[in-house]
Amino acid sequence: MDGERRPDRPAVAGAGAAGAGPIGSVAAPTGTTTRPADGASGSMTPTGPRDGPLILVADDVPANVELLFDQLHALGYRTIAADDGVSALAAASRHLPDLCILDVSMPSGDLGCDDRSTGFEVCRRIKRDPRTARIPVVFVTALNDATDRVKAIEAGGDDFLTKPHNRLVLGARVRSLLKLKTATDALEESVRKLRELEKVRDDLLKMIVHDLKTPLTSVLATLELLLDGDFGALSSTQHQVVADAEAKAEDLLRLIEDLLEIAKLEETALPLVLIPIAPIALLTEVVHEWAVRFQQAAATATIDGAGDAPIFQADKSLLKRVFGNLIQNALTHSPNAVTLRLAVRREPVGVLFTVADNGPGIPSEYQELIFRKFEQVRTLNAPRVRSSGLGLAFCRLVVERHGGRIWVKSTEGEGSAFHILLPTQPRTAEYPAISP
Ligand SMILES: Nc1ncnc2c1ncn2[C@@H]1O[C@H](COP(=O)(O)OP(=O)(O)OP(=O)(O)O)[C@@H](O)[C@H]1O
Ligand SMILES: [Mg+2]
């Protein structure tokens, strides 16, 4: 590759001067007109057929650019050139080409890397910028040793063309990468549209739910007055019927409150009240609070702590509700009395809690789904109590607000183990969630 570079660059002569072929109209060969720093960025005009996909060719050897331009134009692509790292990046972000063909070795300009690896650095930056990240990058180089190939892959490169490249190979590679990009772009667009629709649906749901709350609260108040005999004595049948109606209205109100709370968590509008928490003490407190329910459900619970689990910062009341949801699930989604194991241990990145049961288990295809709103395992065994599919969505939001992660491991017929990994110091939106 370096061997092909002409130190004194007389190359323009053949291309620009003669004006022959597509390269004649390309600004690149002089190495000046593609550089925005020269104030000539306006001349970075795509050339070639009218409507073809746009390909950026970055190479500091005009003859190489000329050859590629000729071949790409013949294949129906438009082209734009750059002759160093800085102008390649500028062209990529300004023109958002459909594909970049980069020479590995070219002047780096201000990129702060070795000239012999400018292409890698340009590629790394293209892939780092969300606006250009999906543009496929092909390296044209004499990359014949494995280290260079590894570097190219690590930089995010999508393919290689080895010099001297074959025209047919160029065509085939470019075509397949462009096809892939078109498919990825279409996918991205439908994800964006879906997200928009989801937002509209959520906003609408929130509005409806909120508007339901006020009339429902007054229905409940009226039913209470009726039950208290404020409108006259009720027969026992009337009392029973009104009490049932009140219980259903209360279920509905709880559902509304759950939905509103989840909406707040999704908008990160629910502030965390952080306090230091001793993990074993927390589990002991939770089990103690559930003792009566365990008795009623003939369930048993054990606490298993390695003793070295560190004190961590978290919102205790939200976290207790997370455990409450997991315990409630173990009790309600199992047809038999369950044995629960609550465990905690230290992890390099924080504290790992486990809530395991020997219930029916969760089919693998549901193990991610159930953490989304309203998702439930479709089984013939209906849960014994009201169940709306919101509990685990709440748990996930709370855990993620703390910068942690929640997941389940389960084997059908053997039980489920829910794991919660929390950092010792909560990380909020500005930090990425930790991985297990
Ligand atoms: N321990 C468990 N064992 C078996 N299935 C479970 C368990 N925990 C959750 N599930 C399944 O995951 C689904 C989702 O649980 P989630 O807590 O989100 O909602 P829910 O319990 O149905 O309703 P809600 O918690 O809102 O009252 C449940 O409906 C159930 O099918
Ligand atoms: Mg639940």
- CATH homologous superfamily of 274-422 equals Histidine kinase-like ATPase, C-terminal domain (3.30.565.10)
Q: What pLDDT, in 10s, does the model give residues 150-180?
A: 888 889 999 888 877 888 889 999 999 999 9
pLDDT band at 385 (very low <50, low <70, confident <90, very high): low
Binding site membership of 362 for ligand 1 (Cβ less than 6 Å): yes
Give 386's pLDDT tier (boundaries 50, 70, 90): low
Residue predicted with more confidence, 151 or 183: 183
Tell me if 81 sits within 8 A of 57, measured CB to CB. yes
Q: Is 162 helix (H, G, I), strand (E, B) or coil?
A: strand
Tell me, rounded to whole angstroms, the distance of Cα 122 from its chain centroid. Answer: 25
The encoded tokens of residue 336 equal 């038999």
Could you tell me the distance, in angstroms and rounded to a whole number, from the CA of residue 304 to the centre of ligand 1?
23
Domain residue ranges in the chain? 2-165, 205-266, 274-422
Distance (Å, rounded) from C-alpha 159 to C-alpha 101?
9
pTM of this structure: 0.59
Beta bridge mates, 277 = 312
- Decide if pLDDT at 23 tops 50: no
Q: Which atom of ligand 1 is nearest to the CA of 371?
A: 18
Render 92-105 in DSSP notation, one character per residue: HHHH--SEEEEESS
| Of 121, 99, 110, 105, nearest in space to 35 by CA | 110
What confidence category does residue 143 fall into, taking pLDDT thresholds of 50, 70 and 90? low
Confidence band, pLDDT 50/70/90 cuts, at residue 46 = confident
Q: Is any ligand 1 atom within 6 A of the Cβ of residue 377? A: yes
266 vs 394: CA distance, rounded Å: 9
- Atom from ligand 1 closest to the CA of residue 360: 4
Q: What is the mean pLDDT of the chain?
A: 84
CA distance 249 to 220: 6
Q: Is the pLDDT of residue 362 over 60?
A: yes
Cα-to-centroid distance, 319 and ligand 2 (Å) = 15
Q: Which of the four pLDDT bands, split at 50, 70 and 90, describes residue 265?
A: confident
Question: Are 290 and 253 spatial neighbours (Cβ–Cβ below 8 Å)?
Answer: no
Residue 243 alpha carbon to ligand 1 centre in Å: 27
Rounded to the nearest angstrom, the distance between the alpha carbon of 31 and the centre of ligand 1 is 64
Q: What average pLDDT score do residues 211-233 get?
A: 92
Please determine, for residue 339, whether its predicted confidence score (pLDDT) is greater than 50. yes
- Out of 262, 328, 334, 370, give the residue to mutate to test ligand 1, the one with the largest number of ligand atoms within 8 Å of its CB: 370
Give the whole-angstrom CA distance, residue 352 versus residue 307: 12
pLDDT of residue 2: 35
Confidence of residue 147 (pLDDT cuts 50, 70, 90): confident
> What is the per-residue pLDDT for 44?
67
Confirm or reject CATH 3.40.640.10 for domain 2-165, answering yes or no: no
> Confidence class of residue 102 from pLDDT cuts 50, 70 and 90?
very high
